[in-house]
Amino acid sequence: MNRKDSLSIIEDEKGVWDLVIIGGGASGLGVALDALSRGLKVLLLEKSDFAKGTSSRSTKLVHGGVRYLAQGEVGLVLEALRERGRLLKNAPHLTINQPFVIPLYSFFDRLKYGVGLKIYDWMAGSLRLGKSKFVSREDTIKRLPQIRQKGLKGGILYHDGQFDDARLALVIAKTCIEMGGSILNYARVNKLSKDETGKINGVVFRDLIGKKNYKVSTKSVVNATGVFADKILQMDNPEARKMIQPSQGIHLVMDNSFLGGDDALMIPETSDGRVLFAVPWEGKLVVGTTDTLVKKPKMEPRPLASEINFILETASNYLVKPPKRSDVLSVFAGLRPLAAPKEGSTKTKEISRSHKVIVSKSKLITITGGKWTTFRKMGEDTVDAHFKNNNLTAIESTSASKHLHGYSLKEVDGHLKLYGSDASFILDLQKQNPEWAERIHEDYPYTGAEVVWAVREEMAQKIEDFLSRRCRILLLDAKASMQMAPKVAAIMAKELGNDDEWITEELEEFYKLARKYLINI
């Protein structure tokens, strides 16, 4: 997946694209994957890096949504459970079956949550990851060594999926390129062009790296920009009403010793009636999330003090050793693109999490809502709208059975498992150059070879691209990411052909960003 190659294909293309997709997060990549599975000619443009926004800031769960079941969203849960099973089959190198334990402090809780999870199991059918069951007090403590034991009656064990969200985005992008698609990051759409009837027939975009403008023609444009969807809708029609209500969710990352073991903790009812997860991930513990309405979407949303305190206080009620602000290695925030609520409502719980496909007068197709688990189905529904828009007979989708790039049933040891079949190429690079085999940080396994690979094969253009999304160290340990930055910058500059001035500017920009992931104690 080479950026120059993608750009040259776009420059050489003189015909009409079937779909031009704006947005390189979960929804945009899902649309591209499904469209390509139907043989369509696809161009995807992302103004920043793939999964730069919400799509790299999830709780890292591929799940059906237990709490949506409690809210009566049966259709949403059924759809998500089906897609969960498919994703675990199609990307075994990026996903795992993650056991969860709900600690029980009353016998009524055993009945309430036990029945709900049996329904959850039944709905998953043949794609079920494992049966839910009651576990004794002793087994609960064994599975969650640091759980508060006073009043503990036992627990309920159930299964959901876990994944690496940003790496999944990269893998889908690589799969799309292998299927004949053109995928480009750092390509900002500045204008939508229309024919004499007012129907959109193309876009004008700027390559932010090469500083050059391009105009392309297309049968359909898909707005898959998540929380920024209103900007594209207003580019199409300046009087378009606001459709998106951003809701912020934050996560705190700390050492896994606060929970212990490999099982995840699920707190089914917090003080504000939501759920909270504490999930082992990459040797750390990810704890979250919140659900806070915000007025304006930002590329780098900032966690609120109230959100940080809420997670720490809630976790403290369940853990032997209460985590403090000083224990937090990194804090990250993401924004959910919820449908705007009815006037006067401020409750995020009232807003459905299901996705919606909307077609404007100009035939602009917008996909909103949804979540990572259902990215493929969101894409399928969006591509169906393309056929309907253009009065074309729909071609059958085959994306449900598509193995994603790197697919491998062969287990790779250590963190290189995430590369799947590409892991061997990383090891080859390490052999080519002894310096590339060296660790970038003594406490973490990432090597220089991964930086080289990220530039050559994963379109990494900035040091943030590597430190935040090619490897996940910014989210796992913000201080360590700052310590790694100079080495990463030096390797990237050499690979990209950039000078010392580029290194200085990149480091300054990255340090400013990384400080936002640290909690001021």
**Residue 290: how many other CB atoms lie within 10 Å:** 23
For residues 308 and 331, the answer to whether their CB atoms sit within 8 Å is yes
Q: Coil, helix or strand for 77? A: helix
pLDDT band at residue 73 under the 50/70/90 scheme: confident
Q: Which two tokens stand for residue 367?
A: 């996909």
CA distance 310 to 133: 30
pLDDT at position 348 is 53
Segment 241-292, tens digit of pLDDT: 999 999 999 999 999 999 999 999 999 888 877 889 999 999 999 999 999 9
pLDDT at position 341 is 60
Checking if the pLDDT of 342 tops 70, the result is no
Checking if the pLDDT of 67 tops 80, the result is no
**Residue 116: how many other CB atoms lie within 10 Å:** 18
pLDDT band at residue 343 under the 50/70/90 scheme: low
**Residue 363: how many other CB atoms lie within 10 Å:** 20
Segment 223-248, tens digit of pLDDT: 999 999 999 999 999 999 999 999 99
Residue % of the chain over a pLDDT of 70: 97
Torsion on CA atoms 96, 475, 470, 403, rounded to nearest 10: 20
CA distance 447 to 166: 19
Count how many Cα atoms sit within 13 Å of the Cα of residue 169 in the half-sphere of its side chain: 32
pLDDT at position 353 is 65
For residues 243 and 339, the answer to whether their CB atoms sit within 8 Å is yes
What interhelical angle do 165-178 and 26-37 show, nearest 10? 30
In the chain the first and final C-alpha atoms are separated, in Å, by 41
Q: What secondary structure does DSSP assign to 455-491, as a single string? A: HHHS---SHHIIIIIIS-HHHH-HHHHHHHHHHHHHH
Residue 82 identity (one-letter amino acid): R
Residues 6+ apart with CB under 8 A from 397: 34, 37, 38, 380, 383
Checking if the pLDDT of 313 tops 80, the result is yes
217-221 mean pLDDT: 98
Segment 486-515, tens digit of pLDDT: 999 999 999 999 999 999 999 999 999 999
pLDDT at position 521 is 58
Task: Pick the range with the lowest mean pLDDT from 26-40, 202-216, 258-272, 445-459.
Answer: 258-272
Q: Coil, helix or strand for 150? A: coil
CATH superfamily of 414-517: Alpha-glycerophosphate oxidase, cap domain (1.10.8.870)
Task: Pick the range with the lowest mean pLDDT from 84-98, 208-222, 269-283, 334-348.
Answer: 334-348
139-158 mean pLDDT: 97
Q: Which fold has domain 96-161+246-348?
A: D-Amino Acid Oxidase; Chain A, domain 2 (3.30.9)
Q: Which two tokens stand for residue 440?
A: 């970038």
510 closest CA partner among 495, 188, 444, 487: 487
Query: For the purposes of burial, counting CB atoms within 10 Å of the CB of 196, is it exposed (0-12), middle (13-18) or buried (19 or more)?
Result: exposed
300-304 mean pLDDT: 95
Q: What secondary structure does DSSP assign to 291-306, as a single string? A: -EE-SS--SS----HH
Strongest mean pLDDT among 189-203, 264-278, 347-361: 189-203
* pTM of full prediction above 0.85: yes
Q: Is 60 left (phi over 0), alpha (psi -120 to 50) or beta?
A: left
pLDDT at position 347 is 54
- CATH for 3-54+166-243+352-401 is 3.50.50.60
For residues 93 and 406, the answer to whether their CB atoms sit within 8 Å is yes
Query: What residue spans define the domains of the chain?
Result: 3-54+166-243+352-401, 96-161+246-348, 414-517
CA distance 136 to 113: 15
> Average per-residue pLDDT in the chain?
94
Go through 46-63 and write b for each residue having 16 or more CB atoms within 10 A of its CB, e for each that does not.
bbbbbbbbbbbbbbbbbb
481 closest CA partner among 436, 501, 511: 511
Checking if the pLDDT of 350 tops 50, the result is no
415-433 mean pLDDT: 96
- Beta strands at 16-22 and 42-45: parallel, antiparallel or unpaired: parallel
**Alpha-carbon Rg of the chain, whole angstroms?**
23
Query: For the purposes of burial, counting CB atoms within 10 Å of the CB of 508, is it exposed (0-12), middle (13-18) or buried (19 or more)?
Result: exposed
- Beta strands at 95-104 and 264-267: parallel, antiparallel or unpaired: parallel
pLDDT band at residue 405 under the 50/70/90 scheme: very high
